[in-house]
Amino acid sequence: MTLNRRDFLKISGAGAAAAALGGCATTAGGARPHVVVVGAGFGGATCAKYLRQWGPNIDVTLIEPNDKFISCPISNWVIGGLKKMDDITHGYDNLPRHGIKMVKDSVVAIDTQKRTVTTRGGSTIGYDRLVIAPGIELMTDTIKGYKDAEAAGKVVHAWKAGAQTALLRKQLEAMPDGGTYLLAIPGTPYRCPPGPYERISLVANYLSKAKPKSKIIVLDSNADIVSKKPLFMDAWTTKYAGMIDYRPSNAVTAVDGAKMTVSTDFDDIKADVLNVVPRQRAGDLCALAGVRDKNANWCTVNFATFESAHVPNVHVIGDSVQSGLPKSGHMATNQAKVCAAAIVEILAGRQPDPIPVIANTCYSATSDSTSGYVANVYRYDPAKKEYVNQPEGGATAKGDELNFTYNESWAKNIWANVLG
């Protein structure tokens, strides 16, 4: 497939914007339609912004409990000492300028029959369409002893950027030279497939310079590195030879915070810093809306609109979606734009694009000066009911300084696109 100008505009959003501005959106009763978006991360904030840009007749309410946006992409750079928390923390000040009504609150109930959401603060908000972008829920109860160890500050996941990101960095700084850092990786699917391997690389970069006698143990629940294997293996063998002990097919079953050990089916392993990332599933909001699948893990959607396959008028975007697509920040923004364009069309009484095209670009740093990337284009196939990877994609096998610069620029640009 060769992308023409029309396809490019679909990916960038300009094509959908032009189409959406061609008509007026109203409800059956003639009132302005109201879309409620819950969750102001990469997916939710992007969706709310583009709903207003492409559907100026649509009222949009964005509900988010946090004061600030903290970026999961680039949070590994904080853990590795390349950035500070302030570098990945941004305000929501620009979103109201698009006409979005911001509500700082948490949703505690969703009535999909009455089409209302109820917040912890006691507000009940009606909607014509609901978009939920809750990210992931970490299944800490699948690992024995995890909750107690986490509460005591003895084990962290740092898989939701925030307080645990800063805590893990402090633990690495306090670790003695000659100590051991342990990272446990959950089985797929999980948020950001290359994320654990980038984290290993950046922690190794830090330790190789600040604490060169230290070791890293990687317990991977998967049978092999699941993303960008050539990129990471090149870095581990050339930059950090002898430091990283990678053990595939090793799932953590228990954590003992008092002894600072983790258990697998094979043995008990002691470390100075325990970074255990549990299995994941669609965020709690998906359970409130009844859009999780029967196995209660992920959400099936119509990929042309991202409307739930189970509950009408409810759309799910981002990491909570069940698909073969990567669970990444960039992907969440692309899903958000497809979803926003589809809602604008639906509310205007038109047919959404039946074969949308989306893209994903993901950079991973391998040191404090080198990065690599993977980039893919996906076209929706209505017959297969899934997005199909197109041949234009590619990936780097080695990190380099130019891509490190591109990596930093990518982060700044996507933050501006989501929040600007």
Ordered by start, the domain boundaries in the chain are: 12-65+104-137+281-352, 141-279
Q: CATH assignment of 141-279?
A: 3.50.50.60
Q: Give the Cα separation of 46 and 21 in Å (integer).
A: 18
Q: Give the Cα separation of 66 and 83 in Å (integer).
A: 21
Q: Which residue has the tokens 């991973």?
A: 364
What percent of the chain has pLDDT above 90? Answer: 91
What Cα–Cα distance (Å) separates residue 274 from each residue in 223, 234, 300? 21, 25, 34
Domain 12-65+104-137+281-352 class in CATH = alpha beta
pLDDT of the residue at 393: 84
Mean pLDDT across 17-37? 61
Report whether pLDDT(14) > 80: no
pLDDT of the residue at 30: 58
Model pTM score: 0.92
pLDDT of the residue at 294: 82
pLDDT of the residue at 2: 41
Q: Amino acid identity of 277?
A: V
Report whether pLDDT(392) > 90: no
Q: Give the Cα separation of 115 and 124 in Å (integer).
A: 10
What Cα–Cα distance (Å) separates residue 288 from each residue in 41, 99, 102, 195, 347? 19, 27, 21, 28, 24
**Torsional sign, CA 215, 221, 223, 224:** negative
Contact indicator for 177, 289 with CB cutoff of 8 Å? no
Report whether pLDDT(223) > 50: yes
Q: Give the Cα separation of 380 and 387 in Å (integer).
A: 4
Report whether pLDDT(4) > 70: no
Report whether pLDDT(274) > 70: yes
**Assign residue 215 a region: left if phi > 0, alpha if psi is -120 to 50, beta otherwise?**
beta
Report whether pLDDT(10) > 80: no
| Cα 357–Cα 358–Cα 364 angle in degrees, nearest 5 | 155
Contact indicator for 182, 214 with CB cutoff of 8 Å? no
Nearest CA to 257 out of 154, 180, 170 is that of 154
Q: Which residue has the tokens 């076209």?
A: 379
Domain 12-65+104-137+281-352 identical in fold to domain 141-279: yes
Residue by residue, DSSP assigns 160-226 as SSSHHHHHHHHHHHHSPTT-EEEEEEPPSS-S-TTHHHHHHHHHHHHHHHH-TT-EEEEEESSSS--
pLDDT of the residue at 296: 76
What Cα–Cα distance (Å) separates residue 13 from each residue in 106, 331, 335, 417? 29, 14, 11, 11
Q: How far out from the chain centre does Cα 65 lie?
A: 17
Q: What is the mean pLDDT of the chain?
A: 93
Report whether pLDDT(21) > 60: no
pLDDT of the residue at 18: 35
Mean pLDDT across 105-122? 98
Q: How many CB atoms lie within 10 A of CB 409?
A: 11
**Torsional sign, CA 413, 417, 419, 420:** positive
pLDDT of the residue at 27: 52
Nearest CA to 337 out of 322, 359, 320, 364 is that of 359
Report whether pLDDT(237) > 50: yes
Each residue's pLDDT tens digit, 84-103: 999 999 999 999 999 999 99
Omega before 176 within 30 of 0, i.e. cis = no
Tokens read off for 115: 């089409």
Contact indicator for 216, 204 with CB cutoff of 8 Å? yes
Report whether pLDDT(317) > 60: yes
Q: Which of 16-30, 38-52, 143-157 has the lowest mean pLDDT?
A: 16-30
